[in-house]
Structures are given as structure tokens and as C-alpha cells.
Amino acid sequence: MAINVGDPVPDVSLKTQAGETVNLQSLLGQKILVLYFYPKDDTPGCTKEACGFRDSYTVFQDAGAEVIGISSDSPTSHQQFVNKYQLPFILLSDERNQARKAFGVPSTLGLLPGRVTYVIDTNGIVRHLFNSQLNFQGHIDESLKIVQTLSNAS
């Protein structure tokens, strides 16, 4: 079952690009979370999306948000991706697709892992989701609008 706006974030633990285990629940309460699921490191669309989040990262941080990317790639692959494109945020490795399943991220045409971004408030409630396989910039723009709205409301 897919997570929708108004639902609490699932309790999932994943490894970062540095191999450290991070529990999503432990990140709640500090900042607004922008979790973006993407298909694969170092592919054209995923690179464009990651670099878009990178280029807007300080704007997200200034608005009180943390950006985190999630794909099924290994921590080693994530570290290479981070290094190659100077990504300033955490990438989480979902090698067993447990987070994808917990969030209910759909696949495209039954083959390609979906591209969905979730904006989660400090209480752990999903406030917005954006699902588009091809509108890479839309993930950044939509998320930023919601983050700024949430920041202004608090």
C-alpha cells in the first residue's frame, strides 16, 4: 500500500554512502525531510535530478529542510556518485527495496524503479509527494515550494 499525503513516514533503516546505518525515524523532529527515490546512480536523468537538488541544496537548508536520496544502488556506488558530482547530501542504499516497498513507490512499466519525492514535516507526516519519471526539475521545484510553505507556517 502506497504512502500518501497525511500518512506517517515508515520506520526504515538504511545504509548511507559511508556505510553508516540511518533510521528515518531518528531524523524526524529536527528538519523537514525531502526524500527522493530515484532509479539508478550516474544515469542521465538521475544525475540531472541529483545535481538539481545539489544546486538548490543551500536554499533547502535555509528553509529548514534536509535532502536525502534513496536508490537500490550499493553504498560504494553512492559514494562514487557523491564524489563525481559533489553531492552535499546523504544517499541511502535500499539494496533490498525495503524502503521502496514501505513507501509504496511504484515502478514504471513494471520495470524501472519509480522516481517519487516525499516532503515530510518535523512530526514525520508526509505533506507532499511528487511522482514523475521524466520531470526531473519538477521534483526540486515542487519540493521547495512545499518546504517554504511549511517553514513559513511554523
**Residue 51 designated active-site:** no
**Half-sphere exposure of residue 57, counting CA atoms within 13 Å on the CB side?**
14
Contact 9, 127 (CB under 8 A): no
SS3 assignment, position 117: strand
Query: Cα 77 vs. chain centroid, distance in angstroms?
Result: 17
Among the listed residues 3, 24, 32, 46, the single catalytic one is 46
Query: Cα 75 vs. chain centroid, distance in angstroms?
Result: 15
SS3 assignment, position 60: helix
Specify the DSSP element, H or E, that contains 153: helix 136-153
**Half-sphere exposure of residue 128, counting CA atoms within 13 Å on the CB side?**
20
What radius of gyration do the chain's Cα atoms show?
A: 14
Residues taking part in catalysis: 46
